[in-house]
Amino acid sequence: MKSCFVTSLTFALLILLAVPSQAASAPTAAEAQEFMKNGEDRLRELTIKASRATWVQENFITDDTEAIAADAQDELTAASTELIEQAKRFEAIKLPPDLARKFLLLKLQNPAPAPKDPKLRREMTEIATSLDGDYGKGKYCRKPNDCLDITAIEKILSDSRNPEELKDIWAGWHKVGAPMRQRYARFVELSNQGAREQGFKDTGVLWRAGYDMTPEQFDAELERLWTQVRPLYLSLHTYVRARLTQKYGPQIVPPNGPIPAHLLGNPWAQTWGNIFPLLGLPENGSGYDLTQLLQNKNLDAKGMAQYGENFYKSLGFDPLPGTFWERSLLTKPRDRDVVCHANAWDIDTKDDLRVKMCIQIRDEDFVTIHHEMGHTFYYREYKNQPFLFENGANDGFHEAIGDTMALSITPEYLKQIGLLEQLPPAEADIPILLRRALEKVAFLPFGLMIDKWRWKVFSGEIKPENYNQAWWDLRLQYQGVTPPVARSEADFDPGAKYHIPSNTPYMRYFLADILQFQFYRSLCKESGYKGPLNRCTFFNSKEAGAKFRKMLQMGNSRPWQDELEAVTGQREMDATAILDYFAPLQKWLDEQNKGQKAGW
């Protein structure tokens, strides 16, 4: 979290610094430097305060904690808004590149820019807190004494093969969004007002300004990357659809049409790994069951997290501080509601690192904890940067770091850490690659369309009366999925996805899906690996770790193109690494799909 609060005295002092008297001379670069130093110091202090309040709110969801978090967020948002306003004084002068970058990042640090009017700012903060709380408390009650939270919902949608039960659970969870609809529309209005006051056309334009290129260039870059990977996605979609048609019948899964969203293994159809058993390969075709291997070890949640930490230690990173293990939340409490969505926290921008995750002993969570550990180690590597450079090179980098490590969860890695006794034969590559494609390739269009929807909402192209229709139009266009039951504008299905009510930008996850394979290919090469890309692990490679660490320590101090080049030698994001990784699977899918119609 990056935000701030200014006391009345501090605010008065900042005004004196930032607003010259009538007789004062024009502002200088030295004054801009001093203004920025004072502002960064204050922002750091207030970020810590806000982080602590939000940590408590998400771990103890009550009306009181929501109010406390809203107060802290309102105070820091107010200060951030004022600092951005004061910084306009220096817009006309030429600044050193590093300082100019800080002034830009100051404007971009808040994904929900607030209006200057205190009443409107307070209204926006309260809406944001209430939306986050609604999601965290969300449940579907099948019967008065049978209420399911999102963890239970995910479990049923993962395991059940009864299409009617899946439809009921899917529709039940999506009811969580409907009460958010009007508040979300108001939130968009207020956020756009804040963005315009900062000099941006709307909040979506502000979000896209953080990628060291114009919004138009960024839009074109996204479409270029999607064009690279779309043929692989179509091959996967065609294969999965054919197998689901065999399982459920053509009356439920049209042989040449889109796939109903409730049949793909999770509440959002964003990844499809849970339906692997339905796809015609032997359940143990990979030669092992990672969930079973983990459960055979009688692991608890802490044991799962320690595997993640040990991977980074093997690359030369220092262990996590003891406070990580004391303060993280790794198991869902039995006595209260929490926001179970897994995330990593940098509480004090130094060493108070934490993970909040309701860990289950299963393969999916083993991968996720490696991912979340990536955030914590990235936080610590750039902790000595100035405050506004304490972030990823772009937000896709932050998500890609842990996912790069997760790609190294290969049979060779599992054998090295003692989970697997014997490596599977070469013919096991296809089941392993298919499982991974169901996670990585299936996710790509979902990761792309979330913010395409939001950017159109922020711009006004999608109006409140068309929120839901536009959501499903984009899901059909990019994913080839449809809702299992009729939807209307009385619904607000975007609200059933955590990142919408929490106002978390989502394009980072699409970019991360691209970047992680690019990082992975480079680090495998650095480690000296020579074989097929999909079999590589760089576990225990100090050479790969040193190269990676150099990039992580740069934080957001340089354009992402510079930092990408430091690891990969390339200055452009490149999806060919995904195609290289999945090349054996692409060939196999094309053989399986002969005679099938691709697309929908």
Q: Which residue has the tokens 């499982």?
A: 435
pLDDT at 501 over 80: yes
174 is catalytic: no
Active-site choice (45, 185, 341, 543): 341
Examine residue 535 and state whether it is found in any structural domain, yes or no. yes
**418 vs 470: CA distance, rounded Å:** 48
Where among 86, 110, 134 does a domain terminate? 110
Q: d(Cα 592, Cα 589) in Å, to the nearest integer?
A: 5
Give the residue, 288 or 304, on which the prediction is more confident.
Answer: 304
Residue 99 covered by a domain: yes
Torsion from C-alpha of 358, 364, 367, 372, nearest 10 degrees? -30
**Residue 586 domain flag:** no
Task: Assign 3-class secondary structure to 66-130.
Answer: HHHHHHHHHHHHHHHHHHHHHHHHHCCCCCCHHHHHHHHHHHHCCCCCCCCCHHHHHHHHHHHHH
| Residue 538 pLDDT greater than 80, yes or no | yes
Mean pLDDT of 442-452: 97
* pLDDT score, position 252: 97
Q: Is residue 215 part of a domain?
A: no
Does residue 7 have a pLDDT over 50?
A: no
- Could you tell me the residue range of the domain that residue 378 belongs to? 290-423+506-570
Active site residue 75: no
In a domain, 149, yes or no: no
- Give me the pLDDT at residue 8, please: 37
Rg (CA), the chain: 24
Which pLDDT belongs to residue 341? 81
CA 453 to chain centre: 16
Confidence band of 223 (pLDDT split at 50, 70, 90): very high
pLDDT, average across residues 261-282: 94
Q: Report the pLDDT value the prediction gives residue 399, as an integer from 0 to 100.
A: 86
- Is 378 marked active-site? no
**Does the structure show a pLDDT above 80 at 93?**
yes
Q: Is 371 a catalytic residue?
A: yes
pLDDT at residue 13, as a whole number: 35
CA–CA distances in Å: residue 510 to residues 107, 349, 569, 570? 23, 26, 21, 19
Structural domain ending residue among the three candidates 95, 110, 125: 110
Number of domains in the chain: 2
Instruction: Tell me the two tokens of residue 123.
Output: 């209204």
Distances (CA, A) of 513 to 15, 213, 300, 445, 521: 44, 20, 29, 11, 13
Of these residues, 399, 439, 526, 563, which one is catalytic? 399
Tell me the helix, strand and coil percentages in the chain, rounded to 5.
Answer: 65, 5, 35
Of 152, 171, 185, 342, catalytic: 342
Confidence (pTM):
0.86
Instruction: Give 336's DSSP letter.
Output: S
Residue 295 domain flag:
yes
- Is residue 577 in some structural domain? no
Q: Answer yes or no: 341 catalytic.
A: yes
Please identify which of the residues 509, 520, 529, 581 carries the catalytic annotation.
509
Question: Is 73 part of any domain?
Answer: yes
Q: Which of 13-27, 398-412, 585-599 has the lowest mean pLDDT?
A: 13-27
- Give catalytic status of residue 262 as yes or no: no
Average pLDDT of the chain, as a whole number? 91
**CA-CA distance, 347 to 355, in Å (whole number)?**
10
Biggest CA pair distance of the chain: 81
pLDDT confidence band for 22 (50 / 70 / 90): very low
Whether 342 sits among the annotated catalytic residues: the reply is yes
DSSP tag of 484? S
Which one from 31, 309, 372, 439 is the annotated catalytic residue?
372
Catalytic residue among 174, 262, 375, 398: 375
- Mark whether 372 is an active-site residue: yes
Which position has the token pair 């079999």? 535
Q: Are 556 and 208 in contact (CB under 8 A)?
A: no
Whole-number pLDDT of residue 24: 54
Tens digit of each residue's pLDDT (9 = 90 or more) over 123-180: 999 999 999 999 989 999 998 889 999 989 999 999 999 999 999 999 999 999 999 9
Separation of first and last alpha carbons in the chain: 41
* β pairing state of 343-346 and 259-260: unpaired
Choose the catalytic residue: 82, 371, 467, 575.
Answer: 371
**pLDDT surpasses 60 at 82:** yes
Residues whose CB is less than 8 angstroms from the CB of residue 93 and which lie 6 or more positions away in sequence, other chains included: 26, 27, 28, 29, 32
Could you tell me how many helices (H) and strands (E) the chain has, helices first?
A: 23, 6
